[in-house]
Amino acid sequence: MSRGKLDLDPVTVRKARALARKAGRPIVEMAQQHTTVSVERATLRMAGLEGADGDGIPWANRLLDVVRADVGLEHGVALPVWDALVRGEAEDLPTLAQKAGAGSVTFRVPEGRDAIRAEKAARRQVAAGLRRIDRRRTERDRLIRRHGDAPRKPWIYLIVATGDIMEDVPQAQQAAREGADVIAVIRSTGQSLLDYVPEGATREGFAGTYATQENFRIMRAALDESSKELGRYVRLTNYASGLCMPEIAVLAGLERLDMMLNDSMYGILFRDINPVRTFVDQRFSRQVHARAGIIINTGEDNYLTTADAVEAAHTVTTSQLLNEYFAKEAGLEDWQLGLGHAFEIDPDVPDSLRLELAHALLARELFPDAPLKWMPPTRHMTGDVFRGNLLDGFFNLVGALTGQGILLVGMMTEAVVTPWLSDRDIALQNVRYVLNASGALHEDFRPAPDGFVAQRAKQVLGESVDLLERIVDDGLLDAIADGTFGLMKRPADAGRGLDGVARKSELYVNPAVDLLEEQS
């Protein structure tokens, strides 16, 4: 068995994965025992409920709020809602939601034969939604065969987000013409804290564009045009995180997005979302992504924007191992694991490039079949665009040397302005030059077995094993509360969205959960 370029001890690697499983299993069990308002709303959306009332509040929210007020959240939404439909309270789900919003429907938890009829009706309708997601996955495969795929790795990943979806479209299409393989439409600032998904096309956002089903449709259609024009399939990314993570995952599956940012701890650490809410939501969302054939991107790079990238390097590796366990438990395969890491070491640190090589190659060797997402420098970008462009070039070179799978384009105007098209063009020139000049350089790059790079990688792996052992002893929730990751202290009994969590009752039914569990 090959020990790779770093000659990592296979016993240590196996131990690290075993510890990650041991640390993660109680979290999975907790997730299985709870539901959230967003999981239940995602079930309604999977069953075909779309639209919003005159105030812009989605019908999924309106309907769930009434059900919850009448019978609680702990039984799930399926039995009360489809019981009402079977009883003839409304002819379809949208009409029932409108009547509920008007206060003309009262819900109950059915029992006996009524419960059986309601459950069968719910399962039929939710299964139809899953078949729509299946068809979109098949459609993606067909379009990749028709147009061809990106001709090389890493895929070039570029962010476009003006706040106006109609302006995002031409910028995204031009970026694809300039070589971008993946277009990421980042969300408007603060959307992760909204406990509803905005409706319709949006033209006003803040440092990003709102994630809505209609915006997904618009950008997907635009990139399909670009795929046909360019003769290669152009992928689309958005964010399945925050308080509406499960719902956005469903919408992504229905609208054929290809990648979704979906980290297990990002919302906890950087948006102060309750840990229990986040872990319940992320498990459901990852099951949806597994079904839809979506690649997830995790957010370990963010830890290095608040903690020192050298001292905290082992927390990145630890989180990657936990993210891998949670993802595979939810049914995702290796090719869907865009595990994150970043080029964030202070460039004034001696041997900073060698350290970056060690950390990047460690990730590549630990997860050889995963399309790792390599993130550019942000923390130490100063506004000096010439220095920034050089730093981005070093970042691109490390990506080429270590065989990364997804390379996010760094911007020399990072921390100065929202990039213009001209900024993106210069950044893409940098990427194209480095990747073209490097070719298959990663095949030739082999660090000395006892040299600086290999020894540093082994040191980080050893520190990650030590940390995982502590997490197993103390529990992951306590580790998060103690500030282990990104120096953020987030206790399990606090944070946004806790009031939207409920422990499942013995009567709990959710056909979406059942159908997704059956796939894994």
For the record, the structure tokens of 494 come out as 């606090």
- Which residue(s) pair with 342 in the sheet? 375
* Cβ neighbourhood burial of 371 (10 Å; 0-12, 13-18, 19+): buried
- The answer for residues whose C-beta is within 8 angstroms of residue 136's C-beta and 6 or more apart is 253, 254, 255, 256, 292
> How far is residue 55's CA from residue 348's CA, in Å, rounded to a whole number?
52
Q: Where in the chain is the domain with CATH 3.20.20.440?
A: 148-456
> How far is residue 143's CA from residue 394's CA, in Å, rounded to a whole number?
34
The pTM (predicted TM-score) of the whole model is 0.96
For the record, the structure tokens of 206 come out as 């803040």
For the record, the structure tokens of 503 come out as 């422990």
Q: DSSP strand E in 224-310: where?
A: 235-239, 259-261, 295-297
- The answer for residues whose C-beta is within 8 angstroms of residue 124's C-beta and 6 or more apart is none
The residue among 156, 183, 175 whose CA lies nearest residue 420 is: 175
> How far is residue 41's CA from residue 59's CA, in Å, rounded to a whole number?
9
The residue among 326, 329, 258 whose CA lies nearest residue 293 is: 258
> Chunked in runs of 10, what are the mean pLDDT values of the chain (520 residues)?
84 98 98 98 98 96 98 98 97 97 95 97 98 98 96 92 94 94 94 96 93 98 98 97 96 98 89 96 98 95 86 95 97 97 96 97 97 94 93 97 96 80 90 95 93 97 98 96 88 96 97 89
- The answer for residues whose C-beta is within 8 angstroms of residue 442's C-beta and 6 or more apart is 400, 401, 402, 403
Q: Please answer whether residues 301 and 263 qualify as being in contact, where contact means their C-beta atoms are separated by less than 8 angstroms.
A: no
Q: Please answer whether residues 179 and 425 qualify as being in contact, where contact means their C-beta atoms are separated by less than 8 angstroms.
A: no
Coil/strand/helix, residue 85 = helix
Rg of the chain over CA atoms, in angstroms? Answer: 23
Q: How far apart are the first and last CA of the chain?
A: 29
Q: Pairing between strand 182-184 and 235-239?
A: parallel
Residue 301 bears catalytic tag: yes
Q: What is the pLDDT of residue 1?
A: 41
- The answer for residues whose C-beta is within 8 angstroms of residue 307's C-beta and 6 or more apart is 315, 486, 487
83, 281, 301, 423: which is the annotated catalytic residue? 301
Residue 266 bears catalytic tag: yes
Residue 272 bears catalytic tag: no
- Which residue(s) pair with 373 in the sheet? 340, 406
Q: What is the pLDDT of residue 348?
A: 96
Q: Please answer whether residues 307 and 8 qualify as being in contact, where contact means their C-beta atoms are separated by less than 8 angstroms.
A: no
Instruction: Specify the fold of 148-456.
Output: TIM Barrel (3.20.20)
Coil/strand/helix, residue 184 = strand
For the record, the structure tokens of 467 come out as 């940390």
> How far is residue 49's CA from residue 58's CA, in Å, rounded to a whole number?
9
Per-position b or e across 282-312, b if 16+ CB within 10 A of its CB: bbbbbbbbbbbbbbbbbbbbbbbeebebbeb
**What HEC string does 3-61 produce?**
CCCCCCCHHHHHHHHHHHHHHHHHHHHHHHCEEEHHHHHHHHHHCCCCCECCCCCEHHH
- The answer for residues whose C-beta is within 8 angstroms of residue 51's C-beta and 6 or more apart is 58, 59, 94, 199
Q: What is the pLDDT of residue 520?
A: 58
Q: Pairing between strand 501-503 and 34-36?
A: antiparallel
Q: What is the pLDDT of residue 2?
A: 58
266, 303, 325, 508: which is the annotated catalytic residue? 266
Q: What share of the chain is helix, strand, coil (3-state, %, to 5)?
A: 55, 10, 35
* Cβ neighbourhood burial of 183 (10 Å; 0-12, 13-18, 19+): buried
373, 392, 423, 508: which is the annotated catalytic residue? 373
